Amino acid sequence: MAFNDESAEKRKSARLAILELANMISVPMSLNAVVRLNVADAIWQGGSNTPLSASQILQRIASTGSDPENLQRILRMLTSYGVFEEHLTNESSPLDGSASERKYSLTEIGKTLVTDAEGLSYAPYVLQHHQDALMKAWPLVHEAVLDPTTEAFVKANGEPAYDYYGKQEEMNELMLKAMSGVSVPFMKAMLDGYDGFKGVERLVDVGGSAGDCLRMILKKYPGVRHGINFDLPEVVAKAPNIPGNAAYPFS
Ligand SMILES: C[S@@+](CC[C@H](N)C(=O)[O-])C[C@H]1O[C@@H](n2cnc3c(N)ncnc32)[C@H](O)[C@@H]1O
C-alpha cells in the first residue's frame, strides 16, 4: 500500500496519534512511579495542597541523591493527564534556569491517591494493576487470540491470578487493600442513593474481599442480621470480623 500524500494534515495527525499510542505505557508507569514515591501524600501533607516544586516534594519523600529533574518530568507528564495542576511561579527555576519555577498541586484525580483517615486511597489499586505478575502477562495478550486455551496470566506465571495472589501474602494483602480503596468510596455513594437492602435478613457478598461492602451495608441496615462474605479462604482469613454480625463464625 502506498500513501502518496504524506504531508496531508490527516496523515500527519495519524502519525502523531500512533506515536502517542506506542508510547502510552509512559502514562501508567508514571502514575505507578508517583504512587511508589508517595507524591500525593507528600503534597497533601496537613491537607494544605500547597503547590510544591519537584525539589520541595523530594525533601518530603526522599533522601539526598534523588533527582528533582526526573521527578519534574513525571509530574509534567501526569499534569497533561489531569493528575496534577502545574503552577508557574515568578521565581526562576533552579532546575533548568528558566524564568518560572514549576510547582504542582493535586487535582481531584490526584486527590484519589491521598491516604484518607481510614488508611485508604486508590494508590494500592494502581500498584495492584502494575505488579510484576500482571506486567509479565501483558506482552502475551496477542497469544489470547492465537491460542486462547490458556490465559495470558497463566502462561506468564504458571497459575491463575487468584491462586497466585493467594500464595503470595504480599500480593494477597495488596489485592485486599486495592479493593477496599476502590469499594469503600463507591459503596458510600451507592448507599446514599440505593435502599434495596431494606427488608433483607441474610446477605451473601460473593467475592466480598475484605468485607467492606458487607460491613457498610450491615451498618446502615441493622435488619440484615446474617452477612456472609463468600470469598477464597486466604482472603476471608485476612478480612476483619464485622461487629454485631450474627453470621459469625460461619462466613
Ligand atoms: C474484583 S474483587 C471484588 C472485591 C469486592 N467485591 C469489592 O467490591 O471490594 C474479586 C473478588 O473475588 C474473589 N474470588 C475470586 N475467585 C473466587 C472464587 N472462586 N470463590 C470466591 N471468591 C473468589 C477474589 O478473592 C476477590 O476478593
What residue spans define the domains of the chain? 9-114, 126-236
Q: Which residues line ligand 1 (CB under 6 A)?
A: 162, 179, 183, 207-209, 212-213, 230-232, 235
CATH H-level, domain 126-236: superfamily: Vaccinia Virus protein VP39 (3.40.50.150)
Distance 183 CA to ligand 1 centre (A): 12
Tally of CA atoms within 13 A in the half-sphere of 126 that contains its CB: 22
Task: Tell the residue number behind the cell numbers 485486599, with chain if given.
Answer: 176
Query: How many helices (H) and strands (E) are present in the chain, helices listed first?
Result: 14, 4
pTM of the predicted model as reported, rounded to 2 decimal places: 0.90
Which SS3 state, helix, strand or coil, does residue 221 take? coil
Distance 179 CA to ligand 1 centre (A): 9
Return the H-helix or E-strand segment holding 17. Answer: helix 9-22
Nearest CA to ligand 1 atom 8: 183
Which of the listed residues 176, 203, 231 should we mutate to test ligand 1's pocket, taking the one with most ligand atoms within 8 A of CB? Answer: 231
Q: In CATH, what class is 9-114?
A: mainly alpha
Ligand 1 atom nearest the C-alpha of 207 is 12
Q: What is the pLDDT of residues 117-165, one digit of tens each?
A: 999 999 999 999 999 999 999 999 999 999 999 999 999 999 999 999 9
What pLDDT, on the 0 to 100 scale, is given for residue 92? 86
Distance 189 CA to ligand 1 centre (A): 21
Q: Using 50, 70 and 90 to split pLDDT, how confident is the model at 251?
A: very low
Q: What is the pLDDT of residues 50-98, one digit of tens each?
A: 999 999 999 999 878 899 999 999 999 999 999 999 999 888 888 888 8
Nearest CA to ligand 1 atom 1: 179
Distance 172 CA to ligand 1 centre (A): 11
Q: What is the pLDDT of residues 200-240, one digit of tens each?
A: 999 999 999 999 999 999 999 999 999 999 999 999 999 99
Ligand 1 atom nearest the C-alpha of 179 is 9
- ipTM over the 0.85 cut-off: yes
Q: Are 40 and 110 in contact, with CB atoms under 8 Å apart?
A: yes
